[in-house]
Amino acid sequence: MTCDSNREPPVMMLRVLRAAPFLGAWLLVSSCSIPTRAQDGAALYRSQCLACHGAAGEGRTAIKGTNLLTDAAKKRSDAELALAIAQGGENKNATHAYEKKGVTPDQVQALVKYVRELQSKQKP
């Protein structure tokens, strides 16, 4: 078998090369929506939770955002809080099913840790 340099490149290779810029742009845009460092719970909270739960976790009553600073919220276990974030809790609340929106288990744990920090900063 000889190598023919005048041969046209395979059609599939041309399709892949044409799609590469679009794939790169998609990866860039999709990675911007959720912080990539799982340890950055504050950034995740700002981008995913702040609109409903408020900057300090106080909740936004006008939109029925849950107050994360109540005694009931503080008594929830880390596992319960993680389940609420990842899968919407026992009720499977779709707005909280962040696992389906690309949030990783490490990021869920970072959010749990950050919520606990907010709760510990609250003055009695």
Count Cβ atoms within 10 A of the Cβ of residue 111 and give its class: 0-12 exposed, 13-18 middle, 19 or more buried.
Answer: buried
Predicted pLDDT of residue 2: 54
Predicted pLDDT of residue 115: 94
Tell me: domain 37-121, CATH 1.10.3470, correct? no
Average pLDDT of the residues of the chain: 77
* CA distance linking residue 22 with residue 42, whole number of Å: 31
Question: What tens digit of pLDDT does each residue of 53-101 get?
Answer: 999 999 887 777 789 999 999 999 999 999 988 988 777 777 777 888 8
pLDDT of 17 strictly over 80 = no
Predicted pLDDT of residue 110: 94
* CA distance linking residue 124 with residue 116, whole number of Å: 15
Q: DSSP per residue over 1-58, as a string?
A: ----TTSPPPHHHHHHHHHHHHHHHHHHHHHHHS-S-TT-HHHHHHHHTHHHH-TTS-
pTM: 0.64
Q: Which SS3 state, helix, strand or coil, does residue 120 take?
A: helix
Quote the percentage of the chain above a pLDDT of 90: 35
- Give the pLDDT band of residue 22 (cuts 50, 70, 90): low
For the ranges 23-32, 82-91, 93-102, 109-118, which has the lowest average pLDDT? 23-32
